[in-house]
Chains A and B, each alone.
Chain A
Amino acid sequence: MTAPAFSAAAPAPAPAPSLPVWVWVKVFTRLLAIQGSWNYETLLGNGIGFCIEPALRYLPGGVHSPAFKQAMARESAYFNAHPYLASVAVGALARAELSGVPAERIERFRTALCGPLGSVGDRLVWAGWLPFASLVALAAFGLGARPLLVIGIFLLLYNAGHFALRIWGLRVGWTHGLAVAPALGTPLLRRGPAHVARAAAAAAGVALPLAAARVLDGGHTLLTLVLAGAVLISILLVRVHGRIEGYKLALILIGLFALLSVVR
């Protein structure tokens, strides 16, 4: 967690301007499309400008004012973060812009915010919550759940965390403005990834044999052979980690097997 890197330049925020509820609804809806124009040059930058735009309309003079245009140009420049935790940046930057914080401080803050929001989000969501939700649903499948229940479990569990994180991020960003660093030291972000990883590891242990058995639909002997083979291949994959991707190996080997089945 590298949040303290930008905490030194973060005094208490200026009083928050008030925004109507529908502006927050617009900002939040746009947050769901924040990666809509993701590209290799400005990454998430245009998305930040897109999300913050409804709030910036409340700058003095409105959308035709120089203040609005300068803020839009600033907020649409290069930015990188996890898409869910980018809500923290959108909230904090909206507050800073509407509070009249000097441009150079906003730009410094923006630059400092990129790293922590990227790495923490990746560990918490992509390498934690997503596989956890997926493995819980796979365990339900392995225990005999029907299709609707399996996908219902996954979508409800995953999106409970997904929406909670986005809403929390927007709220904490807006509440603290440029002083958001201490709020990012919350146990959720500091210790959350490790807790989620342990829960996901346990879920993986339960789910993998159960899901394999249901798809295989064979006897105990065949299942034992398949699971033993899977363990051996997985050890091999761990040893060659980084040199071959699992899905490419699966594509090649399943392709060869299909070819053998067709031509023999």
Chain B
Amino acid sequence: MIDLLPLMVLGAVVGLDVVCFPQMMYSRPLVAATLAGAFVGDATHGLYVGVVLELIAIATLPFGASRYPEWGSAAVVGGAIAATLHSQHAGTVTLGVLAALATAWVGGWTLVKLRQWNAFLARRRRPALDAGSRGAVIGIQLAGLTGDLVRAALLTAVAYAVLFPVAVRAADTWSFSGPPSRSVVVMLSTAVATSAAWVIFHSARGARWYFAGGAIVGLLLLFAR
């Protein structure tokens, strides 16, 4: 098991980006999993996990108060697990993706709890806020940012500490070879992304034709190689 601290720091910084600061989207799985992979010495395997997760993440739009998975810290966990196991087993990308999906699901719950905590803090400082105290406004904002940083750090650390040993055990007894292992994750992630693309874009006039045109170009590029 590699040193947990650097991953915890990465997970915290990336998790903070999801909602609080600075929302530059380096928390997207494509970036976060690749960075995590690079941290443990194999950016390419991290990227593979990131691509699969990114395809799935396209379907979850972070609209305001809705509950959505927390992809940032989750992608760090998944990317690091796959990159650490990469040279040993056929199912590493699958296991990395699975670990990230489970972490993302729990991460969504932690975001809800953080928002409830922020509401509690704001309620407690209501008299000061109503009196126009700049100290209260800035204090609540900093408390929220700190809370999110701690949340993401703990989530990354706990998820990695729990899931990495499980992934090692599972990889040791993994029975499918590489192609079928990857087929399942690729099929599911592509299906989720395709349905998401339809749901999100089909209401724009002509978008289905743009999609069809793009698909023809993509398939031609693919089979021409």
Which A residues lie at the B interface, using CB under 8 A? 32-33, 35-43, 46-47, 49-50, 53, 63, 68-73, 76, 80, 83-84, 118, 122, 126-127, 130-131, 133-135, 137-139, 141-143, 147-148, 150-151, 154-155, 158-159, 162, 193-194, 197-218, 220, 222-223, 225-227, 229-235, 237-238, 241, 245-251, 253-255, 257-258, 261-262, 264
Contacts and interface: CB of A to CB of B under 8 A. Distances in A.
A230 B187 contact: yes
A50 B21 contact: no
B204 A218 contact: no
Greatest chain B CB density within 10 A among A43, A83, A198 is at A198
Interface in B181-213: 181-201, 203-208, 210-213
A53 B34 contact: no
Contacts of B97: 250, 254
B143 to A, nearest CB: 7
A126 B201 CA distance: 12
A98 B27 CA distance: 37
Interface string B63-105: 1110001000000000000000000000101110110011011
Given A206-B218, A261-B175, A201 B201 contact: yes
B104 A197 contact: no
Greatest chain A CB density within 10 A among B22, B132, B140, B206 is at B132
Contact of B194 (A71, A202, A215, A231): A231
Interface string B1-39: 000000000000000000111111110101100110110
A236 to B, nearest CB: 8
Given A198-B210, A216-B179, A230-B194, 16 more contacts: A35-B19, A36-B141, A40-B119, A46-B140, A50-B137, A122-B64, A126-B61, A137-B30, A154-B30, A201-B207, A201-B211, A226-B190, A230-B190, A247-B192, A248-B105, A257-B184
A211 to B, nearest CB: 6
Contacts of B52: 215
Contacts of A143: 221
Given A69-B132, A204-B201, A216-B182, A138 B23 contact: no
A30 to B, nearest CB: 8
29 contacts: A33-B20, A35-B19, A39-B115, A42-B122, A49-B137, A70-B132, A72-B133, A76-B129, A122-B64, A126-B62, A147-B34, A150-B30, A198-B205, A201-B204, A201-B211, A202-B214, A204-B197, A205-B213, A208-B215, A215-B93, A215-B182, A216-B183, A230-B191, A230-B194, A237-B195, A246-B196, A247-B57, A254-B185, A255-B102
Contacts of A230: 186-188, 190-191, 194
A230 B52 CA distance: 13
A31 B94 CA distance: 38
A248 B102 CA distance: 9
B46 A147 contact: yes
Greatest chain A CB density within 10 A among B115, B134, B221 is at B134
A35 to B, nearest CB: 5
Contacts of B218: 139, 142, 205-210
B137 to A, nearest CB: 4
B19 to A, nearest CB: 5
A149 B222 CA distance: 20
Contacts of A158: 24-25
A19 B120 CA distance: 35
A50 B194 contact: no
Given A50-B138, A206-B217, A247-B104, A218 B182 contact: yes
B160 to A, nearest CB: 17
Nearest to A83: B23
Greatest chain A CB density within 10 A among B65, B95, B141, B178 is at B141
B201 A200 contact: yes
Contact of B56 (A135, A223, A250): A250
Nearest to B196: A246
The 9 closest A-B CB pairs, nearest first, are: A205-B214, A69-B132, A37-B144, A246-B192, A233-B191, A197-B204, A205-B215, A237-B195, A39-B118
A141 B59 CA distance: 19
B110 interface: no
Contacts of A234: 190-192, 194-195, 198
A251 B121 contact: no
